[in-house]
Amino acid sequence: MMEDLSFHVLDLAENAVNAGATRIIILINENAARDVLTIRVADNGRGIPADAAAKAFDPFFTTQRKRTGLGLALLAQAARQCGGEVALAARPGGGTRVAARFGYRHIDRQPLTKMTETMMMLLLGHPEIDFHYRHRRNGRSFSFVSHEFFLRSGRASSGTAALSGAVRRALRSGLRRIGAS
C-alpha cells in the first residue's frame, strides 16, 4: 500500500519514463462538488502489447527483469477501496493512458498530498522529458510545462541548486494558489 495518492502519480510517470516516453501528461482533477478525484497519466512511449495489457493489473506480472509488478495492482486497490476504478488504454507503439478515479469524500480515499515533491522528483530526475502537469482543484487550475519552464529559467540559472530552487518555488506557489500542496 502506498501512503498517499501522489505516490501513484510518481509510479505511473516512472512507468512512462521506462516506456521510453518523451512527453508525459499528468492531469489531476479534484472536484468536491461531484465527489470525484481523477488522476490521468498519458505518455507517448512504446505502449503495451495486447497480451501484456490484459495482465497489467496482476501483481505477479511484469515486463521487466524482476519478479513482481505491483504498481498498477496497488493503484487499482487504492481506487476500488473508495468506490473508484482504473482504466488502462494502451496500443503497442502508440503510447499509454491510465485513468484512475476515486471517491473524493470516501472515508477510505487516501489523501493526494505532496505534489510539489512528486513533480520535483520527475522534473529534475528526467529533464529531457517534457512534462505537462495540470492540476485542477474545485474550479481553480494550475499548469506547469517543464520544457517551457526550462526555457525561461535555463537562461538565468547557474547550476543545479539554482534550477532546483526555481522549480520548487514555481510549484509551491502555483499549488498553494489552488489550495493544494
Partner 1 sequence: MTKLTIHDLAKIRDRTKAMTILREGAGRAKVTVHMGTCGIAAGARAIMDELLADIEKRGLQDVVVTTSGCAGLCNQEPMVTVEIQGRPPVKYVRVTPEVMKTIVADHVVGGTIVSAHALAVGSETMY
Nearer to partner 1, 34 or 152 (CB): 152
In the list 45, 71, 84, 95, the residue contacting partner 1 (rule: CB under 8 A) is 71
- Torsion, CA 13, CA 125, CA 119, CA 42, rounded to 10: -20
From 101, 73, 107, 103, select the one nearest 87 (Cα to Cα): 101
Q: What is the three-class DSSP state of 103?
A: strand
Task: Out of 23, 134, 147, 172, point to the residue binding partner 1 (CB under 8 A).
Answer: 147
Vertex 6, ends 75 and 156: CA angle to 5°?
Answer: 140
Q: Which is nearer to partner 1, 132 or 147 (CB)?
A: 147
120 is a contact residue toward partner 1 (CB under 8 A): yes
Contact assessment for residue 41 and residue 129, using Cβ atoms and an 8 Å cutoff: no
> Which of 52, 121, 145, 178: binder of partner 1 (CB under 8 A)?
121
Q: How far is CA 160 from the centre of its chain?
A: 23
User: What residues between 77 and 96 interact with partner 1 by CB under 8 A?
Assistant: none
* CA atoms of 81 and 79, how far apart (whole Å): 6
For residues 33 and 67, which CB has a smaller minimum distance to partner 1 in the complex?
67
151 binds partner 1 (CB under 8 A): yes
Question: 1, 12, 36: which is closest to 118 by C-alpha?
Answer: 12
Q: Which of 40, 101, 109, 114 binds partner 1 (CB under 8 A)?
A: 114
Site for partner 1 in 1-30 (CB under 8 A): 2, 7, 10-11, 14, 18
154 binds partner 1 (CB under 8 A): yes
Q: Sign of torsion, CA 121 127 129 135?
A: positive
Contacting positions for partner 1 (CB under 8 A): 2, 7, 10-11, 14, 18, 64-66, 69-71, 74, 114, 117-118, 120-121, 124-128, 147, 150-155, 157-165, 168
